[in-house]
Amino acid sequence: MIQFPKNFYWGAATSSYQVEGNNANADWWPWEAQAGKERSGLACRHYEFYESDFDLVKSLNHNAHRLSIEWSRIEPREGEFSKEALQHYVNVLMTLRVRGIEPMVTLHHFTNPIWFSESGGWLNPLCVKRFLRYCDFVVRELSRHVHFWFTINEPTVYFSHAYLWGMWPPQEKSIFKMKAVCDYLNDAHIEAYRLIHKIYQEINIAPPAVSIAHHMQAIVGCDQSLKNRFAVAIRRQLYNLQILDYLTRHKALDFIGVNYYSRHLAHAHSWWIGNLLMETCQEKHHPLKKNSLGWDIYPEGLGTVLLDLKDYKLPVIIAENGICTGDDNERWEYIQSHLKNVHLSLQQGVNVTGYLYWSLMDNFEWAHGFGPRFGLINIDYNTQQRTVRDSAKKFAEVCKTGILEVI
Ligand code: IFM
């Protein structure tokens, strides 16, 4: 049996575009059609059903819930801010609060308003100013209901998928553009961090806790060769730590939000920089169970990643951790094995203060559509019926007691 600290945050995460439905003013909406992808359409209709969804959250003993605000609803056309959309999110937050659930709010989770993308997106020198204008509008109104903010979800995933690998809109494939977007996103976070703190000071409420949700992988060498050890060291710095070093140097993190799913098995066949930075092992000599998207399941990696964060001396919230699978037993195994590693890291002195499973419910998994099932709650997309999975019920016991009965 392992016991987690009192006051630990337990819950699950979602993002607006993936669950709300009908986000027709976001850049992904036309892109799905152009790129011939499955359409997000009505998704889980969470925009309408959030109250009953939060009843389920409550019944599952979650005391925290992460959600995101859809910028394209708030500002559907440049400079035109929707009071109605804002009020919707006030209602959402109040619905959580009356159920005793702490909201954790993301301001940017991969999607942008169409007008923003059409005018250059995150490559337009005005992007940071535009993002801040939206943040200002939202944070002033929502500040009374929110303590925890995530400015940007997984900046490294966003700029690499959208600007280097060409997999997401705007499908750029340029290392220079990616670098420019990386710099703008860092600036956007730092400026938003300062703005959020300034607003709380002006309104005279207790200071907020602001971070990014940073995607971290366990970076492991395929063998102990000098090349691979070197590859692991530079990738660990570049992919996992660099952004945190930069943001802490600018004093722009109150805690660290970590999204952890899998490992990255480095194998560089040559000393060429491209191989050192990117080549992964294609052999089958380290077989691990995989999720339905083919990602390795590697629970001990969460422990390693958390230990790497100890030196930052900041609280850590696991803002996402989860598995897509058709077998719900695997989901419970995944949760248990990852929680064991969270507990280990607590014993090693890492100040982990919360764990949010990804995701509360099955949802639109970006370019993969609705196939992957990450949810604690099953969604029947024909009827929109919600069914709580067994793994969710078992996790609910942990949320209630703070105790994991280990096998
Ligand atoms: O669904 C995504 C989420 O939007 C960001 N983090 C990873 C999840 C699973 O791919």
Domain map (residue ranges) of the chain: 2-204+238-259+287-404
Give the atom of ligand 1 at the shortest distance from the alpha carbon of 320. 6
What pLDDT is recorded for position 166? Answer: 98
What pLDDT is recorded for position 286? Answer: 76
Class of domain 2-204+238-259+287-404: alpha beta
CA distance 150 to 67: 10
Task: Find out whether the beta carbon of 365 lies less than 6 Å from any atom of ligand 1.
Answer: yes
What is the distance in A from the centroid of ligand 1 to the CA of 110? 10
Task: Find out whether the beta carbon of 362 lies less than 6 Å from any atom of ligand 1.
Answer: no
What pLDDT is recorded for position 287? Answer: 85
What is the distance in A from the centroid of ligand 1 to the CA of 369? 12
What is the distance in A from the centroid of ligand 1 to the CA of 322? 9
CA distance 402 to 404: 7
> Structure tokens of 202?
């002006």
CA distance 134 to 248: 24
CA angle 354, 12, 351 (to 5 degrees): 10
Q: What is the pTM of this model?
A: 0.98
Residue type, 117: S
Give the atom of ligand 1 at the shortest distance from the alpha carbon of 13. 3
What is the distance in A from the centroid of ligand 1 to the CA of 272? 31
Question: Taking the chain, what is the end-to-end CA distance rounded to the nearest angstrom?
Answer: 8
What pLDDT is recorded for position 407? Answer: 64
Select from 356, 376, 375 the least CA-distant residue to 365.
Answer: 375
What pLDDT is recorded for position 152? Answer: 99
> Structure tokens of 334?
């995944």
Q: How many CB atoms lie within 10 A of CB 381?
A: 14
Give me the average pLDDT of each 10-residue run along the chain (407 residues): 97 99 98 98 98 99 99 98 98 98 99 99 98 98 98 98 98 98 99 99 98 98 95 98 98 99 96 94 86 98 98 98 98 98 98 99 98 99 98 98 90
**For residue 224, what are the CA distances in angstroms to 72, 263, 301?**
47, 16, 17
What is the distance in A from the centroid of ligand 1 to the CA of 50? 20
Spell out the residues 6+ positions from residue 296 whose beta carbon is closer than 8 angstroms to its own. Answer: 262, 263, 265, 288, 289, 290
Read out DSSP for 17-31? HHHS---TTBTHHHH
Task: Find out whether the beta carbon of 259 lies less than 6 Å from any atom of ligand 1.
Answer: yes
